[in-house]
Amino acid sequence: MKVDRVLQGVQGHLVNAANGVIICACGDCDQERNYTAYLADTVHGRMHRLQLNGGPLSISPSSPLHLDRDDCGAEVPVGVAMRTNIRGAVELKKIQSLVLVAHVPCGAADTAGMSVDEVLSALVAAKIELSERYAATLGVKVACFLHVEWTMLGIERRPSTYFVSRERTLRWLAAPPPVHVSHQSREFPTYVGS
């Protein structure tokens, strides 16, 4: 994915964040500090945080995280709650730069059986949904990021946060390269060119 530039280095100029950012992310207490500290240093220090389990992965109605069950068993659209909280934050804080952050591994995504490709698909679908709803009416601009906790995947490497290209992700998802089993671990498949 890095070779195909689906995942790119984070550069502050990729997000026009003159007034700060609204960050929509998962509230994972073990990973959230890593990516928010990094994004605060590279994108903007003024962050209005909106966090639910899975964060932006719940926004698209096609995502397995869009609906959850209430205590009584009734389905509730948590993605709608996240989306309307984003709209409210834009209106209250006058911040039009929205940052969507997914992370792997993510407990909510794992529970739903989502692969990394499905996480990226839900992330990009959330960007499309929010852009279509709020770009014209509220002037919202949306950027996507993926945070990877490599050690939690069994790979000795420092955590990394990547900018996710919408166009390249859609191309990747339409025609992913064939899977190869890594020579290091049979549990974590790698792709040709990764």
Q: What is the pLDDT of residues 83-124, one digit of tens each?
A: 999 999 999 999 999 999 999 889 999 999 998 889 999 999
Beta strands 7-9 and 160-164 are: antiparallel
| C-alpha separations of 154 from 7, 157, 183, 184, 185 in Å | 20, 9, 13, 10, 9
pTM confidence score: 0.83
Q: Which residue has the higher pLDDT, 119 or 19?
A: 119
Query: Nearest 10 degrees: CA dihedral of 94, 85, 143, 146?
Result: 140
Q: What is the pLDDT of residues 172-191, one digit of tens each?
A: 888 877 764 443 334 444 43
SS3 37: helix
Q: Which amino acid is at 92?
A: L
pLDDT at 7 over 50: yes
What's the full length of the chain, in residues?
A: 194
